[in-house]
């Protein structure tokens, strides 16, 4: 019984050590891409600038509740309003990383 508990604790610790950097790397990529491709209109903090005036504020709890990750991915890929499409400019993984970052704001 003690061996099983020790193994479970060791496995949990190993998973935490290995998994955490991977999650941080993905979040870091989304944040970096957002800063490079999106912040000029949508603001570093997710508050839309004049150029994206009709866009929601990404850090607004009501906006976050009202939009799905899939919709954010679609808007980034296909564009919306004045926002150009990013399909073909960014990989699907990059688009997903930005969308996940936006949803984390």
Q: DSSP assignment, residue 47?
A: -
Q: Which helix (H) or strand (E) holds 24?
A: helix 2-37
In tens, the pLDDT along 36-77 reads 999 999 999 998 888 777 788 899 999 999 999 999 999 999
Q: Quote the tokens at residue 92.
A: 């699907």
For residues 76 and 68, what is the distance between their CA atoms, to the nearest angstrom? 13
Identify the sign of the CA torsion 30, 64, 44, 48.
Answer: positive
Compute the CA torsion angle 26, 29, 35, 36 (nearest 10 deg): -150
Note the pTM of the prediction, 2 decimals.
Answer: 0.71
In tens, the pLDDT along 2-28 reads 554 555 444 444 444 444 344 444 458
Give the three-class secondary structure for 87. Answer: strand
Q: DSSP assignment, residue 44?
A: T
Q: Mind listing the domains of the chain with CATH numbers?
A: 27-104 (1.10.760.10)
């Amino acid at each position: 019984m003690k061996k099983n508990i020790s193994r479970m604790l060791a496995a949990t610790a190993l998973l935490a050590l290995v998994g955490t950097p991977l999650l941080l790397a993905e979040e870091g990529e989304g944040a970096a891409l957002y800063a490079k491709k999106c912040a000029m209109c949508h603001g570093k903090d997710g508050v839309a600038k004049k150029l994206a005036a009709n866009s929601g504020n990404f850090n607004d709890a009501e906006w976050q509740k009202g939009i799905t990750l899939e919709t954010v991915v679609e808007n980034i890929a296909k564009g919306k309003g004045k926002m150009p499409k990013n399909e073909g400019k960014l990989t699907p993984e990059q688009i997903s990383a930005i969308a996940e970052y936006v949803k984390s704001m």
